[in-house]
Structure 1
Amino acid sequence: MKRFLTMVLIASPILVFSQKNFDKGYVVTKSNDTLRGFIDYKERKKNPTTFDFRSAMDGKTQTFTSNNCNAYGVDDAESFESHVVDITMGETDIDRLSSAPDLSSRTDTVFLRVLQAGKNVTLYSYVDKVKERFYLKSKNGTPTELIRHLYMQEEGVKRVVNGNQYIRQLLDVMRESNPGIAVDQEKLSKLEYGEDALLELVAEINQQKLTKPKHSSTRFFAGLALNRSWASYSGAHDFASPTAKVKVSYLPMLTTGIDVFFNPVIGKLLFRTELSLQMSKNEIAIRRGDDIYKHSFDQYLAVITPQVIYNMYNADHFKVFVGIGGGVNFMLTRNDEYVALNTVSGESDVLNKPLKMEAVNYSFQGIVGVVLNKKIEISAGYSPYMPISNYGVFNINVERMRLGVNYLFGKK
């Protein structure tokens, strides 16, 4: 089982990057013909530069760019339009800000993601390696970037200056689109440069209700697992002998946590934060002549494990996933004893050889599993041996495997 999990986790990056995810969609060509078929819909932060299209699921793949099509979309998910736009290049990363407004820009033909289309204006977003930008297009106009220039003021008290040109741009659009309607300029002056805030304002400009996303970006889970663990010694210690016998502990484990989807429409890639409560009963024994020496101890653990999970197979009612992450382990050790038992006389002595166990340490975790009917998750996990002590010439290490079931709360 341990070897199988390791092989799957090693192979998972290859499987991830070779995945195709063709969903129903459309393409609008340069001649304004609309082609219905299937789009390879990928998880990504940046706006696409190309996309693959098939007229039939098993048909030939065509690659389109922003230069040879006007628009494309995936049904009930996202849509993009190709436009020639000016793109500001000023940084927004605080560590790379200039000491004065960076007014540099470039002109390019790119795919803009449609955030909201209405009777008065359309709101778009564009993300590249530099930053995220938003564009607004009036009914008969072309997309214009809503401009924000951030820079670091060096004189006097060092601070970040927000050049909010987008506020004035939006004020002009609001007055033009809805003449005669009073604008709350004080409220507008505090508008954040972000998708949620801009969507709310654009809905007001278009005099329409702001629709909620069809797919939730988060879900909760809770479950129960069987935890298999064992402790062993390594280094220069009698208990590190190949003849040492290790007792394997089988005990229940409680799990709960939250999943955050990278793209809730696709639902392939997600970030999971898991809290598990578990315990183990450990024993290592070695025989020396007529005497058997045993070291036994119990551990109670609360483990917080951030991890990345990818659904390699992502059908609606059946998914196969792999995950990888690192855990922070808070441990409490109890009943820590060294015992020497004489097999001839039957007498035993408790030896005063206490060892210091770490209260906090770190671990690696890999997981594979399946999801059934969007609600039941069955998984197997493995944590390679980790030291739970901190000695120079030897250490005590623990390995863990688990088999568990989670119930998923949510619609994804």
Structure 2
Amino acid sequence: MKKTLLALVLLSVLHCFSQTHYEQGYFINNQNATTQCLIKNIAWKNNPESFEYKLTEAGEVQKAHINDVKEFNVNNTYKFIRYSIDIDRAPNDVNHLSVIKEPDWKKETVFLKALVEGKITLYQYEDGNLVRYFYITETMEVPEQLIYKPYKTGSAVAYNTAYKGQLYNVMKDKLQDIKSFKNIKYNKESLVKLFLEYNGNAETQVNNLSSRQNKSSFHVKFAPGISFVSSSVYQSSNTNAGIDMDTKPVLRIGAEAELLLPFNNNKWSLFVDPNYQAYKGEKKGTKGVNYVTPDWELKYQFLELPVGARYYMYLNNKSKFFIDIAYVFSFNMGDSYVQYTFPERVGSTGYSLKNDNITKTTNFAAGLGFSYSDFSIEARYGFERGILHNYDNFGAEYSSLNIIIGYKIF
């Protein structure tokens, strides 16, 4: 029930706040007519075949397709131009490499994303794991793919790096040192840097759209907090000997490392949140006329390692809500045990049984939080996990509601 309720709350919040903003832009249709409008900016990872737009803030949402649009631009950040180009889709996966060195060209009509516009313009095409770069000069009508292709040769892998020669041939009027092209990597960072060097860094000479597009970034937070722990313990052979312990606050000492992903307006991130907690719960048994239940004690010191994904819902440049889900690894870090003690009673002596074989265990966690500038606060629920499932005589369950205060160190 708790899991269902939490899932419903998270989905409701996501529905309310996850709308992507419509931003000022334009598109040009097949008749060369330009329409000024508001375009839904989703910071495309894959090159799109369509996009959504509105003519006014309160206007109807409409959809435009690649067949009808030659070019569209969102806030001079994401600019896509339609071309019919030759593209090589040979896979880069070592298990599926081609044995042919030369590209296998296919004619396709696509939107290419402009990265650097200048005397020579750099474009990018991305579709899943496929990433290709294209260039066009002032005298060319259609962009040409920069050729990079790994391929099999016997049991080895070779590389067709013709892009280095292509770049030298079109840039040698300004960049004449052929040796410098040998170190150019086939990736966005290296190619953008080269095209900026050739075109010039002044805004009158070059339009560096890539500098305004989403980039990945890495942050570290100090993340202490309080965990409100619920636990239960039981003796497997005696269902009457089990008990729920009182909810208890526990200090949480932790840190978080987060990687913001470079698409969808930096709304998605991956994080790891190592933290240490030390819990001790005790519960006195009860005595009746014909029965007695034991005193229970659970001591649990552990390192918790949540690994998860987070989704941000931006309110403005500084404020944002977020939800996250994580798979949590827990490692015993000290003198941890479950123990029950039967007191002396008529006709019987007291005795105590202890199991200190607290196991490594896992569970899921889900959270909801708010971030402002470098500060954040989150409520994260750790679903129930068993910590003695491998043993017949004892059982123990552990869950927690964590209030986490975060401060970004860098």
CA distance in 1, matches of 2:135, 2:59: 37
- TM-score norm. by structure 2 comes to 0.85
Task: Give the CA deviation at 1:95.
Answer: 2.0
Between 1:321-330 and 1:243-252, the stretch displaced more is: 243-252
Q: Does 1:165 align with 2:162?
A: yes
Aligned residue in 1 for 2:6: 5
Gaps of 5+ in 2: none
- 2:176 maps to a residue whose letter is A
Aligned residue in 1 for 2:282: 283
Task: Give the CA deviation at 1:115.
Answer: 0.8
Task: Give the CA deviation at 1:200.
Answer: 1.3
Q: Does 1:109 align with 2:109?
A: yes
- Work out whether residues 337 and 354 of structure 2, in 8 Å CA contact, stay in contact via their aligned partners in 1: no
Aligned residue in 2 for 1:89: 89
Aligned residue in 2 for 1:259: 258
1:171-210: CA deviation from partner (whole Å, max 9, x where unpaired): 11122x42xx53232x322321111111111122213379
Aligned residue in 1 for 2:224: 224
- Work out whether residues 217 and 263 of structure 1, in 8 Å CA contact, stay in contact via their aligned partners in 2: yes
- 1:161 maps to a residue whose letter is A
Matched ranges for 1:239-388 at <5 A: 240-241=239-240, 244-263=243-262, 266-283=265-282, 286-287=285-286, 289=288, 291-312=292-313, 314-334=315-335, 336=337, 338-340=339-341, 342=343, 351-358=352-359, 360-372=360-372, 374-388=373-387
Aligned residue in 2 for 1:196: 189
CA distance in 1, matches of 2:292, 2:136: 85
- Work out whether residues 245 and 286 of structure 1, in 8 Å CA contact, stay in contact via their aligned partners in 2: no
Aligned-pair RMSD on alpha carbons? 3.2
**Number of residue pairs matched?**
397
SS where residue 273 of structure 2 aligns? strand
Matched ranges for 1:14-163 at <5 A: 19-75=19-75, 77-101=77-101, 103-118=103-118, 120-129=119-128, 131-141=130-140, 142-154=142-154, 158-163=155-160
1:3-51: CA deviation from partner (whole Å, max 9, x where unpaired): 54232346678779x8443122222333434333211112543111100
CA distance in 2, matches of 1:226, 1:288: 34
SS where residue 282 of structure 1 aligns? strand
- Work out whether residues 116 and 123 of structure 2, in 8 Å CA contact, stay in contact via their aligned partners in 1: yes
Seen in structure 2, the aligned counterparts of structure 1 residues 243 and 66 have a Cα distance that, compared at 3 Å, is same
- Work out whether residues 258 and 272 of structure 1, in 8 Å CA contact, stay in contact via their aligned partners in 2: yes
Seen in structure 2, the aligned counterparts of structure 1 residues 64 and 283 have a Cα distance that, compared at 3 Å, is same
1:324-361: CA deviation from partner (whole Å, max 9, x where unpaired): 1112222224263635253879x996624324111x32
Identity of aligned residues (%): 19
CA distance in 1, matches of 2:350, 2:168: 84
Between 1:292-301 and 1:55-64, the stretch displaced more is: 292-301
1:220-274: CA deviation from partner (whole Å, max 9, x where unpaired): 3223321011322468343x54862313221121232222222367232222222
Task: Give the CA deviation at 1:76.
Answer: 5.5
Seen in structure 2, the aligned counterparts of structure 1 residues 98 and 306 have a Cα distance that, compared at 3 Å, is same
CA distance in 2, matches of 1:332, 1:109: 58
CA distance in 1, matches of 2:272, 2:73: 32
Gaps of 5+ in 1: none
Task: Give the CA deviation at 1:170.
Answer: 1.0
Between 1:293-302 and 1:377-386, the stretch displaced more is: 293-302
Between 1:246-255 and 1:314-323, the stretch displaced more is: 314-323
CA distance in 2, matches of 1:151, 1:241: 67
Aligned residue in 2 for 1:183: 177
Q: Does 1:400 align with 2:400?
A: yes
Seen in structure 2, the aligned counterparts of structure 1 residues 259 and 336 have a Cα distance that, compared at 3 Å, is closer
- Work out whether residues 274 and 305 of structure 1, in 8 Å CA contact, stay in contact via their aligned partners in 2: yes
- 2:152 maps to a residue whose letter is M
- Work out whether residues 5 and 368 of structure 1, in 8 Å CA contact, stay in contact via their aligned partners in 2: no
Q: Does 1:174 align with 2:175?
A: no
CA distance in 2, matches of 1:407, 1:138: 47
Stretches (4+) displaced over 6 A: 12-16, 209-212
- TM-score norm. by structure 1 comes to 0.85
SS where residue 47 of structure 1 aligns? coil
Between 1:191-200 and 1:395-404, the stretch displaced more is: 395-404
- 2:266 maps to a residue whose letter is G
- 2:355 maps to a residue whose letter is P
Aligned residue in 2 for 1:207: 200
